Amino acid sequence: MLDDPVLEARAQVIDLRIRCMQCVSEVIASSNAGWAAYARGVVRELLTDGKTDDEIYTFFVEKYGDKALMKPRFRPFNYVLWFTGPLLLLAGGFAAAGFVRRRSKAEPESGLSAGEQEKLDKLLSE
């Protein structure tokens, strides 16, 4: 913990936005892993060096990649990750709508053809 309550408050907010590289699904604020403790120390060290929040996030991204942030930055490289899910959902919706529309426009079977009806009548009369 930092002696300055303002810096410690900033550190706690930053800790909630950085992903633990050891646990992957947790932020460093709630992780008990050794790497998370190390990362919390780095955050506090960078804050005491006068770094801004963005500079600290950039430090972790440069060292560990975009996966270091719980909410990755919106950059051209990440567009595929950001848009693939919604695009697949829209494509599935359009495909389902087209399928339903084609099924509703299909002519219902009208029964037997004229030739089949004649054969049936002939068989029934025998």
Give the domain extent around 62.
Answer: 5-68
Residue 20 has pLDDT above 80, yes or no: yes
Mean pLDDT on 74-96: 86
84 in the same domain as 58: no
Both 47 and 89 in one domain: the answer is no
Residue 42 near residue 62 (C-beta atoms within 8 A): no
Q: How confident is the model at residue 120 (pLDDT cuts 50, 70, 90)?
A: confident
Predicted pLDDT at 107? 63
List, for residues 97-106, the tens digit of each pLDDT value. 999 888 877 6
Three-state SS string over the chain comes to CCCCHHHHHHHHHHHCCEECCCCCCCECCCCCCHHHHHHHHHHHHHHHCCCCHHHHHHHHHHHHCHHHECCCCCCHHHHHHHHHHHHHHHHHHHHHHHHHHHHHHCCCCCCCCHHHHHHHHHHHHC
Q: 14 and 51: one domain? A: yes
Question: Which CATH number characterizes residue 27's domain?
Answer: 1.10.8.640
pLDDT at 77 over 90: no
Token representation of residue 15: 């800790």
Please report, to the nearest 10 degrees, the dihedral formed by the alpha carbons of residues 85, 89, 91, 97 taken in order.
180
- Are 46 and 10 in a shared domain? yes
Q: What is the pLDDT of residues 33-65, one digit of tens each?
A: 999 999 999 999 999 999 999 999 999 999 998
> For the chain, what is the domain count?
2
